[in-house]
Amino acid sequence: MRETIAELLEIDVASVRGEQLLREDLGMDSLTSLELLSTLSREMKVDLEMEDAMEIVTVDDTVRFVERHLAC
């Protein structure tokens, strides 16, 4: 997951940490958040809703979000 975020933002994967806020610390905006969701949707082969982006605030949130969907 950290790799996906690092790739999307074109930053060093080592600089992505669980507690980081996607917006304030990593500079994601509403569009990048949706792009992340779209990437996850493609990689996990599941349909995600735009409203799901509201759930994802930190890097750890993203990991939990993916784990929950994979468990379904």
Partner 1 sequence: MDLEPAVETEHLVAEVDRVLGVEVDALENDRRGTLPRRLLDATRALGLFGVSIPSEHGGLGLDLVPTCRLVAAIARHDRSLATCVGLHAGLGATPLVNLGTEAQRATWLPKLASGETIASFAATEVGAGSDLSSIATSFEAHDDRFLVRGEKQYVTNGALAGLVTVLARERGSRGGYALLAVPLPQAEVQIGAEEKKLGLRASSTTSLGFEGARGERLGAPGGGLHHAYEALAVGRTVLSAGCVGTARRALDATLAHVTHRRQFRRAIGEFGASRAHVSAMAARLFAMEALVDHVAGRDHGALGSPSVVAKVFCSEGANEITDRALQLHGAMGVLEDMGIALLARDCRVTRIFEGANDVLLVHLGSEVLARGEAPRWHTTGHRSDDALAERWEVAAGVLVTVRQRVKESLGVRAVERQDCLQALARAYVGLAAASCAIARAHVDADLAEHAAKTAIDEALSQLAKLQRGDARVELERAITDDLYARGRHWVWPSAPRSPRKIPLA
Where in the sequence numbering do the catalytic residues fall? Answer: 29
The radius of gyration of the chain's CA atoms, rounded to the nearest angstrom, is: 11
Place of tokens 């996906």: 4
Among 21, 44, 55, 67, binds partner 1 (CB under 8 A): 21
Asked if residue 9 binds partner 1 (CB under 8 A), the reply is: yes
CB of 5 to partner 1, least distance (A): 12
Among 3, 14, 45, 49, binds partner 1 (CB under 8 A): 49
For residues 21 and 67, which CB has a smaller minimum distance to partner 1 in the complex?
Answer: 21
